[in-house]
Structure formats: structure tokens, C-alpha cells
Amino acid sequence: MRSQIRLSLIVGLLLLQFNSSHLLAQSRPEELPVLDSLPLSSLQSLFTSLFTTTLDLDSTLRLEEGFADSLQGLAMQQWSLAKKDSTVAKTTVDSLGREAKSAKERYKKISTQSTKVHKLRQWMETIPLEDSVSVRKNLPKAWKQTRQVFDEIYPPMPEPAKSAPAIDEIAEAIPAPAKAPAPASNILVKQTAKYNPASDVMLNPPTPPCVIASTTRDEFSGEISKEMTRSEWFRYTNPALKNYLQGKTHVICEAALAITGQNAALLLTFTIQDANARKAFGRLEQNSVAIIKFMDGSSFTLQNAVPDDGVYNP
């Protein structure tokens, strides 16, 4: 018997760690059809869809701008304290200075993008949807500006290189060699490659897959809620239970990111292979604290928003 416990955590700066902006990358505006023969209802539908994308972009960038500002302030504070501490090595101070500069540049970039998208949104709000002439005239302009901003923030993936077509050639007769070559199995080929930091997965880890499980809009507030599919985050087996579990994992944690307006939540699902999971682990109390520590030494303190007793699943 196993117990599944679902935990909802309010995320602060952890949103940057999960790179939630990839959620919008799947909403890239599609090419517009020919507008001349389309009725007003179709034009309104296209414009509304485009405006929704701009609205999502504006909301996400304002959220990221706030996080980037907080991250910038934290980096500057750490750098300032390190400069005043005589026991801190110069290399550490220099490293903190570079991080502070990088955080400042990131905030400036996101702030500029946020301002541009906000102005675009305000302009689109002034276009009357009941006027077919106005919609037909401004829709291509709105699409072009939205696509330009979108591609600037989320550059499209490069197209795969096309392989050259095969060319049939007539092989000329080659005289047999005087001595047969050694079998290929006996030839040792030394295959080495020069180290390339760009291809080192420890320095540049691959981007995890990002799949949106659901997208909903609140009928009253108009806020859009998006939730990603769950993926395994980590697993752990108590060494004392390895023989008892016979190869099964003791605890598996799956994570999913959810965003509603400017609020973000990290949804964690713990699957525990234990018939007495509730007795051994207890329940999740509201406002309880979880500390997440990463291998680079950084840590985030999260607060539980929803109490949960867990659900038994035999």
C-alpha cells in the first residue's frame, strides 16, 4: 500500500529556477490567414486570440520584472556586505560583484521588454471590435508587433539543416590490392574529441521539457491559470529499508508549476511506499515550511498553502 500526498507551495524567487517563461513559448502567434473574405466574427476571434497572447505576455513579464528586481536587490546587498567584511576573500567579492552586475542587466532587460509589451497591450485595448473596418485594418499591425516582441523575448528554435541530396555516381573499376587489408575488427581507431565547454551538460544543462497540462480563464476576474504536467523531481530510499522494499523506491516526489495571474505555486506530489505513511510522516499542516537546497549551495524557503492528509492508494 502506498500513500500519495499532494502539497501546494507558494513560490517566490523559485519561479526563476523553474524558468516558467517557457509556458508562453508554446503560445507563439500563428500566421494570419487572408483577411479579405473573412466575416467580422472571424476577425474578432483572431484579434481576441492575439490580444490574449499579449495579455499573457504582459502579465508574465510584469511578474518576472518583480522577481528580477528582488533578485537584483538581494545580489547587491550580498555584494555590499561582502565588501565591508574584511574576512571575505577578494575572489569571492569579485564573484559577487559580477553576479550583482548580471542581475542588474537582467532586470533592465526585462523592464524594457515589459514596458514595450504593456504599451502594445494598451494600444490594442483602444481598437473597437465591433468596427469591422478598424479590426481588418489594425489586425495585421497588431499581429506584426506582437510577433516581433514575442520573437525578441522567446527566439524561435533554428530550423534543422537540410542534408544535401544524394548524387548517384558511377564507380570506376578499382584493381584489387596486392595485399588484402587487415580485418576491421583488428584495427584500433582512437576516437577522441577536443573538450568543448558549450556541450558540457554540467555547465549547460539541457532545458527540461515543458508541457502545459491545462489552461483556464476565470469568468469574473479574467485571470488565466496554467498548469504544467507533473515530472519526477527526486526520489529517495532509506538505506535501512532497501532489503524490505526489494528494489522499490521509498519516496518519489513529482513537481508541477502552476501560474494564476501574478501568483505562482509549486505543486508537489509525494508517493510513499509505506502502509503506515500517515503515521510515519504525519500530515502536511498549513503554513508549514519547506527548505529546498540545491547542489550549488543556494536554497529557497517555501510555505505550504494547503493542508493535506494524503490519500491511500493500494
Q: For the residues of 133-182, what is the DSSP string, one character each?
A: HHHHHHHHHHHHHHHHHHHHHSPPPPPPPPPPPP---PPPP-PPPSSPPP
A 10 A CB-CB count for 167 gives 5
Residue 43 shares a structural domain with residue 151: yes
Q: Is residue 188 part of a domain?
A: no
Q: How many CA atoms lie within 13 A of 308 on its CB side?
A: 18
Residue type present at position 113: Q
Residue 44 shares a structural domain with residue 147: yes
Q: Is residue 184 part of a domain?
A: no
Residue 148 shares a structural domain with residue 216: no
Residue 42 shares a structural domain with residue 141: yes
Question: In a structure prediction context, what are the per-residue pLDDT tens digits for the chain, which is 314 residues long?
Answer: 344 444 444 333 444 334 444 445 446 677 888 887 788 888 888 888 888 888 888 888 888 888 788 888 888 888 888 888 888 788 888 888 888 888 889 899 889 988 988 898 899 888 888 888 888 888 888 888 888 887 887 776 666 555 555 444 445 556 666 665 555 555 555 677 777 777 777 777 777 667 788 888 877 777 888 888 888 888 988 887 888 888 889 899 998 888 887 788 888 888 888 878 777 788 888 888 888 887 777 777 888 888 888 887 76
Q: Is residue 163 part of a domain?
A: no
Q: Is residue 250 part of a domain?
A: yes
Q: Domain ends where: 156, 180, 195? A: 156
DSSP label at residue 114: H
Q: Which domain holds residue 301?
A: 1-19+210-314
Q: Is residue 171 part of a domain?
A: no
Instruction: Supply the pTM of this predicted model.
Output: 0.45
Q: How many CA atoms lie within 13 A of 204 on its CB side?
A: 5
Q: Is residue 134 part of a domain?
A: yes
Q: How many domains does the chain have?
A: 2
Residue 81 shares a structural domain with residue 151: yes
